[in-house]
Chains A and B, each alone.
Chain A
């Protein structure tokens, strides 16, 4: 394979992966907002329903965004190792770093947000 083929693969994977990352992050935040406010499409949700949304909508979204970022980062690492040109290799490593940072960032953010959402729902139940 030529350096140009590797560069095209890295660039395509980066653009598509970044689009997917931001789409998923946006969906995760939208669901998180609904869980926090307890209102979906103008309708108030029960505590039980909010808990269901937390485990069945929000947690899978966080899992998806973290897992897909990690996989994209790992794939970039594999592409980077196949380039002869140093510049293309560095680009591949940077893209891999971006994927890894996305995965780790969402895992950390997800853990803290999960604790927060649960406490908000429990507080709503107590009220």
Chain B
């Protein structure tokens, strides 16, 4: 593979990777906010629905986020090995580093978010029970 082809591949993967991880991360944050506030588009959500959203929406989104970033990291490292230009190699390695940090963050966020949202659901449970 020529260096220019490698550069095109690395840049395209970088753009696509950022777009996809941001999209998935965004989705996870929207679901997380709904779980935390207990409302979705003006509709109140029960504790059961919020708990289901935590395990069936938020958790898969976060896991996808971490896995996607991990795949991007490995692909960039593979691309770095295919080019001869030092500059292009360095670009791919930087991209892999950023993807690696994103993976680590995603993996750390899963237990932190689970603890935070579960605590919030527990705190809100008696209040909703009294209201009901």
**Chain A contact residues, CB within 8 Å of chain B:** 1, 5, 9, 13, 16-17, 20, 23-24, 27, 31, 40-43, 45, 48-49, 52, 56-57, 60, 63-64, 67-68, 70-72, 74-75, 77-79, 81-82
7 contacts between A and B (CB under 8 A): A43-B38, A45-B36, A56-B116, A60-B25, A64-B25, A75-B14, A82-B7
Measured in the bound complex, the distance between the Cα atoms of B22 and A63 in whole Å is: 12
**Chain B contact residues, CB within 8 Å of chain A:** 2-4, 7-8, 10-11, 14-15, 18-19, 21-22, 25-26, 29, 32-33, 36-39, 41-42, 85, 87-88, 90-91, 94-95, 98, 101, 105, 109, 112-113, 116, 120
Most chain B Cβ neighbours within 10 Å, of A17, A23, A56, A63: A56
B7 x A71 contact (CB < 8 A): no
> Secondary structure at chain B's binding surface: helix, strand, loop or mixed?
helix
Measured in the bound complex, the distance between the Cα atoms of B104 and A5 in whole Å is: 36
Q: Chain A contacts of B95 at CB under 8 A?
A: 71
- 13 A-B pairs besides A27-B22, A56-B112 with CB distance below 8 A are A20-B22, A23-B22, A42-B39, A43-B39, A49-B36, A52-B36, A56-B116, A68-B18, A68-B98, A71-B14, A71-B95, A75-B11, A79-B11
Q: Chain A contacts of B25 at CB under 8 A?
A: 60, 64
Q: Chain B contacts of A27 at CB under 8 A?
A: 22, 26
> B18, B29, B39, B91: which contacts A57 (Cβ < 8 A)?
B29
Q: Chain B contacts of A9 at CB under 8 A?
A: 7-8, 11
Q: Chain A contacts of B32 at CB under 8 A?
A: 56-57
- A85 to chain B minimum Cβ distance, whole angstroms, is 15
- B115 to chain A minimum Cβ distance, whole angstroms, is 10
Nearest opposing residue in chain B for A75, CB measure: B11
A60 x B105 contact (CB < 8 A): yes
- A2 to chain B minimum Cβ distance, whole angstroms, is 10
Measured in the bound complex, the distance between the Cα atoms of B85 and A40 in whole Å is: 48
Q: Chain B contacts of A71 at CB under 8 A?
A: 14, 91, 94-95, 98
